[in-house]
Amino acid sequence: MDTTEYKTCLTVFTLFGVLLICWCAPQRFCEPGGDNSGRCNNGPDEEKPAVCSEINLGYCNDLDYSRTIFPNILGQQSRHEVESGPEYLLLSVIHGLLNGECSPDIRLLGCSVLAPRCQELPSPAPVKSCRSACEAVRKGCGHAFEGIDMAWPYFLDCDRFFAGEQEGCHDPLAPLRARQEVVFSNLSPDEPSTIIQFTYHSNAQMYSVLKRTAAKCSHISRTYSIGRSTEGKDLLAIEFTDNPGGHELLEPEIKLVGNMHGNEVLGRQLLLYLAQYLCSEYLLGNQRIQTLVNTTRIHILASMNPDGYELAAAEGHELNGWTVGRTNAQNLDLNRNFPDLTSILYRNRRIKRFRTDHIPIPDSYWFGKIASETYAVMKWIRSVPFVQSASLHGGELVISYPFDFSRHLHEERMFSPTPDEQAFKQLARTYADSHASMADNNTERCGASFIRSGGIINGALWYSFPGGMSDFNYLHTNCLEITVELGCDKFPSEEELYPEWLRNKEALLSFMESVHRGIKGVVKDEEGYGIKGASVSVRGIRKDVTTAEEGDYWRLMNSGTHIISASAKGYSKVSKRIYLPAHMEKAWRVNFVLKKVPVQPVGPDYHLFLRSSLDTYDRFDPYNHFQSYGRSEPGEPREPREPREPGMGGEPGMGGEWQEKEKPWWWNYFTQAGVSAPTWLLRN
């Protein structure tokens, strides 16, 4: 109580004597330092001496003592009051909420506050638990709470409700630690060191795994949203790099995209396992993973189509046939929904100066139906300088690479290579050869035969389709994307998930490492400033890459002698001859310094190779809100929204929905149980 309150109390005391006792006496039950939950006011003014009693709380029956005492450390008066409180409810669901992490540690720690050990002599009294135990749990489990957007529970405040060793505290976790030591001493060194649950994850569980992983590895990871699905679900990506949150000069960026077809679910699971694997192995000191993460910026979008997944998962693995959940909620096949730049290329390819790169999106595209998932991914692809990418599908066991759309309108199966055929082939080989059975001759295929090509194929030679994501990546940006068909079964049984991870783990790692093949460098002006948007070309390959923000570029290339040139508007062109050896540990550095020259007048066909600066995307982007995916302030909300009161305006039908989203997914566990709302679990 502050001084004003104290004065009020005194005044009341002088006027009404006895009444004061009823108002102020319950303060005796309060902990020093006060309790901001208001809990201190409900204790009756009893004179009955406290006694030790049996614990009798179902979720606390494995404490290493059997007798407790009321009021407990929080001032709760009876077993009934404990059982009907949100603190006990939290302990009963915490295992599920944290997906088994920090369990049973958190529960036992909480139980030791709600039902403290009762010490009989000299007179019955509660024994507080040890602050050191609380602090150890908080250190190890804080990230798990952050991962599900939950604040650290007030009653596990190590300073307020725990005591030091010299005060004779009790360590509620001592028996648990003893048990764990036995388990660890029995583990063979071959046991997997990373603990991953090889099960299917609902959308909510997926978000939770991603956020918890990023929180656990916050020095090398973070999650961010690239947009929303048609039904408003988050398209949540996770990145791994030594300095998360922004592009670093000369550090290549890659992406892995799963579940574009909602019913092709294996890739989504593999990417969730991969994220957890990268985090754990990095923390465990795995040299290979540390090198990969420290030298690469890896973006993982485990599900591009969470709406479709929900439909497919509702049917389940047994029933899910070939198509339910494939499309998004608007029934659009996302891998047919990207701008068809391949046709534009084919129409113009005989024009001498027409190049195969950075083709603008035609106006006509914007008048068609564009899925919000497609839109979000296009925005993402345009705002990060991706070098290579893999899109994970199912239904076959093969890697296909662009072009996916046939060179001839009426040829459904026709070899249609890009100018980067050699680089694409090598990229596809990298995955297929490191996969347990993809390149295998006697592996039973799902219908088609890829034996002669060793498990890789040009997309259009397999079957032709327009509007695919890989063709768009190649023709609109610098990024080379392959399509990974992970197996015949689009929705394998849960028992298959772990074996599938083993079959694909090395392939995924090798694929990510392969981005360090070829050349990279910086294009600068004479004053040493990087030139953004400069073109880097390779003689004989009709596709340029352009430089990123600070003038850096990457180009996947195979071994041999190459002539590389750099040019930019207003600068002279510079060429270099290089030799790339067959086995490269890391990308070859080729830097350029360009001299300023007077701007040349443009020729009549200049419009054919306009760069993306004049792209229609900017004109048609209905919200004109490019996100830079750059560094954001720690803790800064990405999409700040005004909280709305119930029935206080907002769009009809939207207000309630948004409001639901304001609260974390686990909020309903508490509000539906009829306990007083634990607002202390909400962060900020």
Write the single-letter amino acid at 427.
Answer: L
Q: Which of residues 247 and 261 has its CB atom nearest to Zn ion in the complex?
A: 261
Task: Give the per-residue contact string, 393-432, with Zn ion (x = CB under 5 A; - = no).
Answer: x---------------------------------------
Q: Between 228 and 261, name the residue whose CB sits nearer to Zn ion.
A: 261
Looking at the Cβ atoms of 382 and 490, the one nearer to Zn ion is: 490
Q: How far is the CB of 322 from Zn ion (least distance, A)?
A: 11
Q: Which of 107, 222, 261, 543 binds Zn ion (CB under 5 A)?
A: 261
- Closest approach of Cβ 266 to Zn ion, in Å? 11
Tell me how far apart the alpha carbons of residues 227 and 381 are, in angstroms, rounded to a whole number: 12
494 catalytically annotated: no
What is the CB neighbour count within 10 angstroms for residue 554? 28
Distance of closest approach, residue 490 Cβ to Zn ion, in angstroms: 8
| Best CA proximity match to 341, nearest among 389, 385, 405, 384 | 405
Nearest-CB residue for Zn ion? 393
For Zn ion, the closer of residues 470 and 535 by Cβ is 470
CA dihedral 426, 429, 430, 432 (to 10 degrees): 160
Work out whether 212 is an interface residue with Zn ion (CB under 5 A): no
DSSP at 362:
P
Tell me the residue type at 57: L
355 binds Zn ion, rule: CB under 5 A: no
**Residue 421 CB contacts under 8 Å (≥ 6 apart), including other chains:** 458
CA distance 405 to 408: 9
- Gap between the Cα atoms of 554 and 253, Å rounded: 10
Residue 82 or 456: the one with the smaller Cβ distance to Zn ion is 456
Candidate ranges 238-246, 259-267, 524-532, 559-567; the one touching Zn ion (CB under 5 A): 259-267
Region binding Zn ion by CB under 5 A among candidate stretches 234-242, 257-265, 419-427, 541-549: 257-265
Nearest to Zn ion of 75, 468 (CB atom): 468
Least distance (Å) from Zn ion to the CB of residue 110?
Answer: 45
Q: Return the SS3 of 605.
A: coil
Residues binding Zn ion: what is the number (CB under 5 A)? Answer: 3
Name the nearest CA neighbour of 234 among 304, 144, 300. 304
Shortest distance (Å) from residue 260 CB to Zn ion: 6
Of 259 and 342, the one with the shorter C-beta distance to Zn ion is 259
Give the C-alpha distances (Å, rounded to integers) separating 273 from 266, 268, 439, 563.
Answer: 11, 9, 23, 41
From the candidates 485, 550, 645, 660, give the one annotated as an active-site residue: 485
The CA angle 10-16-22, to the nearest 5 degrees, is 80
Residue 393 beta carbon to Zn ion: minimum distance, rounded to whole angstroms: 3
CB-count exposure of residue 449 (10 Å: 0-12, 13-18, 19+) = exposed
CB of 489 to Zn ion, least distance (A): 13
- Range in contact with Zn ion (rule: CB under 5 A) among 264-272, 361-369, 538-546, 666-674: 264-272
The 3 state secondary structure assigned to 220-278 is CEEEEEEEECCCCCEEEEEEECCCCCCCCCCCCEEEEEECCCCCCCHHHHHHHHHHHHH
User: In the window 370-399, what residues touch Zn ion (CB under 5 A)?
Assistant: 393
Candidates 27-35, 254-262, 342-350, 651-659; binding stretch for Zn ion (CB under 5 A): 254-262
Write out the residues near Zn ion by the rule CB under 5 A: 261, 264, 393
Active site residues: 485
